[in-house]
Amino acid sequence: MNTGRIFGFFAALAALVSTPAMAQREQAVELSGDVMVVKTVTEEGAEPREELVKPDLVVPGDRLVFRTNYRNTSADLVENFVVTNPLHSAVALAPDTPSSQQVSVDGGNTFGTLSELTVTEEDGTSRPAMAYDVTHLRWVLSSLEPGASGQISFYAIVR
């Protein structure tokens, strides 16, 4: 009987924290991501064009595009679909990122567009946030129909 009660206790605790075992069985959303290096190819007699190549050769200053594909593989409607992408410290968000992009400059605590955010310097003064201050990016979709898919992407520069 003692054993049974302990089991029950753990089950309740697990349910309180999260339900990872259940969720693992039914992944409604499938994700796949990649990163490519954006190379500007200049050929004689042609406009310079961008080309995406595998990140085999990546050095500081290179421009990268991070892409995440998502798909609702279930038969259910997915709601409040929120994608959060922490930026690695070795890359900085590209300055030409669309101004409507939701970002965070404080480790993901608060989000907003870059122009709404400020950074507090060590000496206590405040300044407008810059692209290189960004620590997280976020995208919000209110719903994702069964079978629906899409891609989110952003550009970053290797520091």
- How far apart, in whole angstroms, are the C-alpha atoms of residue 29 and residue 72? 5
Quick one: 35 or 94, whose CB is closer to another protein?
A: 35
**Part in contact with another protein (CB under 8 A); list of ranges 5-13, 32-40, 41-49, 115-123:** 32-40
According to the binding rule CB under 8 A, does residue 15 interact with another protein? no
DSSP per residue over 83-151, as a string?
EEEEPPTTEEE-TTS-TT-EEESSTTSS-B-GGG-EEE-TTS-EEE--GGG--EEEEEEEEE-TT-EEE
For 132, residues 6+ apart whose C-beta sits below 8 A from its C-beta are: 92, 93, 95
Which neighbouring-strand residues pair with 104? Answer: 136
Quick one: 50 or 76, whose CB is closer to another protein?
A: 76
According to the binding rule CB under 8 A, does residue 34 interact with another protein? yes
Q: According to CB under 8 A, which residues from 102 to 131 bind another protein?
A: none
Q: Which of 11, 15, 53, 119 binds another protein (CB under 8 A)?
A: 53
Least CB distance from residue 15 to another protein, whole Å? 11
* Residue whose entry in the numeric block shows the structure tokens 């955010």: 117
Which residues contact another protein by CB under 8 A? 18-20, 23-24, 27-35, 53, 55-61, 66, 68, 70, 74, 76-86, 88-91, 144, 158-159
